[in-house]
Amino acid sequence: MRFLIDFFPILLFFGAYKLHDIYVGTAVLMAATVLQSVLIYAIDRRLQTMQKATLALVLLFGALTLGLHDERFIKWKPTVLYVGMALGLAAALWGWQKNVLQLLLGSQLRLPSAVWGRLTVAWILYFLFMAASNAYVAAYYSTEAWMDFKLWGYAFPILFIVGQGLYVARYLKDEHRP
């Protein structure tokens, strides 16, 4: 269920784009993201910082796209989001000596501090890679090519998360072992 809530705005965006154009797709994305936020709030009684940031950026860049009738804004939104997440993690880790991943997931995963540090650096590098990839495609390719990149680009997070799981697995203790 949660998986559907997380991905339905982007799926509706692709569908509306394919059936109409980037502007209808953008309007649908904005409405679907608001609905997604309402659903998440109804279930959890709160929104995570990431959900708030995504909602704000979708509404801001969507409004600019529609108001100025310029598709570049919606195409650059992922780059801004990824750079913001990388900077947030980096500032917390190296500026304030706080590991956000460990703070968020530490109660669910018992890992050595060094592993948490490496995971955070990996996420920072991943976000920078995704930002650079999106920026390159948004700047140098057509909207159609960018949409294809967005659709097939979902392989990157899946591969990254699987890789993270394989890396973390060796540090997890099997509580059922004698």
What would the DSSP string read from start to end of 109-174? Answer: ----HHHHHHHHHHHHHHHHHHHHHHHHHHHHS-HHHHHHHHHHTTHHHHHHHHHHHHHHHTT---
pLDDT score recorded for residue 3: 67
pLDDT score recorded for residue 1: 65
* Residue 2 pLDDT greater than 80, yes or no: no
Cα angle 95, 98, 103 (rounded to 5 degrees) comes to 155
Overall average pLDDT of the 78-104 stretch? 92
* Residue 126 pLDDT greater than 50, yes or no: yes
pLDDT score recorded for residue 176: 42
pLDDT score recorded for residue 86: 96
pLDDT score recorded for residue 172: 80
Which of 52-61, 103-112, 115-124, 148-157 has the largest mean confidence? 115-124
Q: Which residue ranges make up each domain of the chain?
A: 1-65, 71-178
* Residue 146 pLDDT greater than 90, yes or no: yes
Which of 104-118, 125-139, 162-176 has the largest mean confidence? 125-139
pLDDT score recorded for residue 110: 86
pTM: 0.80
What confidence category does residue 35 fall into, taking pLDDT thresholds of 50, 70 and 90? very high
Mean pLDDT over the full length of the chain: 89
